[in-house]
Copies of this chain bind each other. A is one copy, B any other.
Amino acid sequence: MQALNDLLAFQKDTEALAQVSGRLSWDQETMMPRGAGHQRGEETAALESVLHARRTDPRLGDWLAACEGQEMSQADAAKLRLIRRSYERSVKIPERLAVELARVTSLAQGQWAEAREKDDFAAFAPVLSRVIALRQEEGAALAGEGTPYDALIADYEPGTTAAELGAIFDAMRPRLVDLRARVLEKPAPKGAEGSFDEAAQMALTREIALAFGYDLNRGRIDKAVHPFSSGSGDDVRITTRTNPEDPFNSLYSTIHETGHACYEQNIDRSYALSPLGQGVSMGVHESQSRIYENQLGRSRAFTGWLFDRFRRAYGDFGIDTPEAFYAAVNRVQKDFIRTEADELQYNLHIMLRFDLEQQLIGGTLQVGDLEEAWNTRFAADFGYAVPKPSLGCLQDVHWSLGLFGYFPTYALGNVYAGCLHEALRADLPDLDASLAQGITTPATDWLRDNLQRHGGLREPRDTITHACGKAPDAEPLLRYIETKFSEIYYL
Binding site for B on A (CB under 8 A): 12-14, 16-17, 19-20, 23-24, 27, 31-40, 42-43, 45-47, 49-50, 215-220, 233-235, 237, 272-273
CA distance A32 to B49 in the complex (A): 25
Q: A13-B49, A49-B13 are in contact. Are A234 and B36 (CB under 8 A)?
A: yes
Excluding A13-B50, A35-B215, 13 further A-B contacts by CB distance (< 8 Å) are A16-B43, A16-B45, A16-B46, A17-B43, A17-B46, A20-B24, A32-B235, A33-B217, A33-B218, A33-B220, A33-B234, A36-B218, A36-B234
Q: A39-B273, A273-B42 are in contact. Are A33 and B216 (CB under 8 A)?
A: yes
CA distance A32 to B217 in the complex (A): 9
Q: Most chain-B Cβ atoms within 10 A of its Cβ — which of A35, A47, A273?
A: A35
| A24: chain B residues within 8 A (beta carbon) | 20, 23
Which residue in B42, B217, B272 is a CB contact (below 8 Å) of A35?
B217
Q: Most chain-B Cβ atoms within 10 A of its Cβ — which of A16, A215, A218?
A: A16
Chain B: CB-nearest residue to A233: B39
Number of copies of chain A assembled together = 2
Determine whether the beta carbon of A20 is less than 8 Å from that of B36.
no
Q: A39-B233, A233-B39 are in contact. Are A47 and B31 (CB under 8 A)?
A: no
10 closest A-B pairs by CB: A16-B46, A36-B235, A13-B46, A35-B217, A35-B218, A39-B234, A36-B234, A16-B43, A16-B42, A20-B43
| A42: chain B residues within 8 A (beta carbon) | 12, 16, 273
| A33: chain B residues within 8 A (beta carbon) | 216-220, 234-235, 237
Instruction: Give the distance to chain B from A105, nearest Cβ to Cβ, in Å.
Output: 20
CA distance A354 to B14 in the complex (A): 41
CA distance A13 to B42 in the complex (A): 8
CA distance A237 to B35 in the complex (A): 12
Q: A39-B19, A39-B235 are in contact. Are A217 and B34 (CB under 8 A)?
A: yes
CA distance A234 to B37 in the complex (A): 8
Determine whether the beta carbon of A234 is less than 8 Å from that of B38.
yes
Instruction: Give the distance to chain B from A48, nearest Cβ to Cβ, in Å.
Output: 10
CA distance A50 to B46 in the complex (A): 11
Determine whether the beta carbon of A35 is less than 8 Å from that of B220.
no
